[in-house]
Amino acid sequence: MVNEIKNYSGLYSYKDSGWFINGTQISEDPLAQAARTGNKLLKLRALLQLNFEREYKVVFVNPNFNLNIAPEDEKNIVQRSMLRHYMKELNKIHIDARARGISLKLKDYFIDDPMALPEVDAARVKCGSYCSRCGSFEMNARNYIAVCGGCGYKESLEKMFVRGIIDYSVLFFNERMTTRSIRLFLGDILHIRSVRRLLNKYCVKVGQGKSTYYIIKNQDIDKLLLDNNYISRYGSNTH
């Protein structure tokens, strides 16, 4: 049994063997990926002269994922709403001595995960706040908003800061986020008092005094803002 786990979010549709977001086809095909992996099991089955059934599923785990798909195409797909049921059924599968023997033989072919998360070289990361529309680092802070020098896009300083702490916690997942490290990372666009206030709002504070650090509550920006009562107060052009 091959389970291809996908953390997609958004509105997807599947039609004529293609995957679409808002009507635009994407290059990735999770069903084909799962089938390819499943076919490797078939090769091993032949090579080792074993006898077992091969199945594959694509499992979508993100609660913000919606898929429009015809029932006849859904055979190898597990959507979030079915996940609990699916796991229950998996747990019911009985493993006998024969299955154990097969899994031990297959285990010889396991390889270490070639995609270990790379360490990020802090010296090579460009610091500062950037525009979420055009990527320019030329953000000019006003009272509560930053205006992009490249494209004119406006964003509240609070939201820009929140994007920054998400970036930091993804890039430096091994390191502690402190008032100092986040200021170095984002530049002095916010006063230190605002930095502390926002860290306390969007993160969990750990420790006291000099050893204080912060753990972000959530890495999904929409959820993080929503759960922590972010209010965009600066007009409809500002986000």
Q: Minimum CB separation from Zn ion for residue 235, in Å? A: 17
Q: Minimum CB separation from Zn ion for residue 139, in Å? A: 8
Which residue's structure tokens are 């666009």? 189
Q: Minimum CB separation from Zn ion for residue 138, in Å? A: 8
Can you give the binding site for Zn ion, defined by CB under 5 A? 131, 133-134, 136, 148, 150-151, 153
Complete edge-to-edge strand list for the sheet that includes strand 139-141: 139-141, 145-148, 154-156
Q: Minimum CB separation from Zn ion for residue 179, in Å? A: 27
- Using alpha carbons only, how large is the chain's radius of gyration in Å? 24
Complete edge-to-edge strand list for the sheet that includes strand 24-25: 24-25, 18-21, 10-15, 65-68
Contact 17, 25 (CB under 8 A): no
| Smaller CB separation from Zn ion, 131 or 162 | 131
Q: Minimum CB separation from Zn ion for residue 153, in Å? A: 4
Which alpha helices (DSSP H) does 48-187 contain, by range?
Answer: 80-92, 97-107, 157-171, 179-186
Which residue's structure tokens are 């706040």? 129
| Smaller CB separation from Zn ion, 122 or 134 | 134
| Smaller CB separation from Zn ion, 31 or 186 | 186
| Smaller CB separation from Zn ion, 50 or 141 | 141
| Smaller CB separation from Zn ion, 150 or 187 | 150
Nearest to 60 by CA among 23, 22, 91, 19: 19
Given CA atoms 190, 195, 197, 199 in this order, what sign does their dihedral have? positive
Q: Minimum CB separation from Zn ion for residue 140, in Å? A: 11
Nearest to 158 by CA among 237, 235, 234: 234
| Smaller CB separation from Zn ion, 79 or 132 | 132
